[in-house]
Amino acid sequence: MAVLVHSWNEVDADALCAHARVVAFDLDNTLAVSKQPMLPDMADRFTQLTCLTPTAIITGGRWELVVSQILDVLGERANRANLHLMPTSGSSYYRWNGHTWQCEYARTLSEADRAAAIASLTRRAHEQGIWPDHPYGEPIEDRGSQITFSALGQKASAEAKRAWDPDDVKKQRLVAAVAADLPRLHVRAGGYTSVDVSEGNVDKAYAVRQLAQQVGSTPEQIVFIGDRMTPGGNDYPAAMAGAVAVHVNDPSDTVQLCDRLIRGFMKRTAAHDAR
């Protein structure tokens, strides 16, 4: 069933801010270019948002990328206590305890499941002719709670990734083959070139539901912003879980949307203080 997805430049930001309990973001190609740190303008807006409202990151990437892309460039003024960090599609969850980042839970795959996922992804990618001969970084990454195959390698450029499988045919064919091998695990298309394997039904719908439980809200009170918001995209499950879904094309859109959100949350705060 199709769900409503808002375009970043058409959404009513004031109404959204009046309703929202949490603003959640995808990471790659939403807050930052794939595998690269947030640019200063984005880091500034993100820092401001953490001072106005609970803010989450839900990404298919591993924890170390959240650190290098977000935390290492986060402004000193950021309210880290307002941050909810959910790498590997929410299969792990981190909060600031006043001194350091603490892992609240992690749904780590067993050694046998990780080995089976790696074997299936490797075999099926070779069979389908999509195993990279000259990858940019490793084609398969063991993220503990998630195994990820990247058809061009982890470090390929964003432009190359976007061009590799624009209609998602290659990824969905690989998903189907690997899912048949691993019926107990959850296999899904990830980013532009990736397929992810995790425990159970762990995806961004799972992450949104977990986040709602952690903050004492409903999924409908969570705004989720991402660049892969069409059916089959790895951000779309957040919309299906009930989050208010907002589509951006790239971090430059996100910067402009954040400016509108910051104004909206400031209006909300002023109205509350005036009561």
Kindly list the catalytic residues.
26, 28
Annotation-wise, does 181 bind a ligand? no
194 is in an annotated binding site: yes
Positions in the chain short of pLDDT 70: 1
The predicted structure's pLDDT at residue 232: 84
At 274 the pLDDT is: 76
Q: How far apart are CA 34 and CA 219, in angstroms?
A: 27
The pLDDT value recorded for residue 272 is 76
Does 113 appear as a known binding residue?
A: no
The neighbour count for residue 136, using CB atoms within 10 Å, is 16
Q: Which fold has domain 5-107+202-274?
A: Rossmann fold (3.40.50)
The pLDDT assigned to 1 comes to 62
Superfamily name and number for 111-199: Eukaryotic phosphomannomutase, cap domain (3.30.1240.20)
Sign for the pseudo-dihedral over CA of 90, 169, 183, 113 = negative
Break the chain into its structural domains and give their ranges.
5-107+202-274, 111-199
Edge-first strand listing for the sheet containing 185-189: 140-142, 146-150, 194-199, 185-189
Provide the token pair at 275. 């009561």
Among residues 152, 238, 138, the alpha carbon closest in space to that of 188 is found at 238
CB atoms within 10 A of CB 34: 22
SS3 call for 144: coil
The tens digit of pLDDT for each residue in 188-204 reads 998 899 999 998 888 99
The token duo for 42 is 């984005």
Residue 105 is predicted with a pLDDT of 93
Q: Is residue 167 part of an annotated ligand binding site?
A: no
28 has binding-site annotation: yes
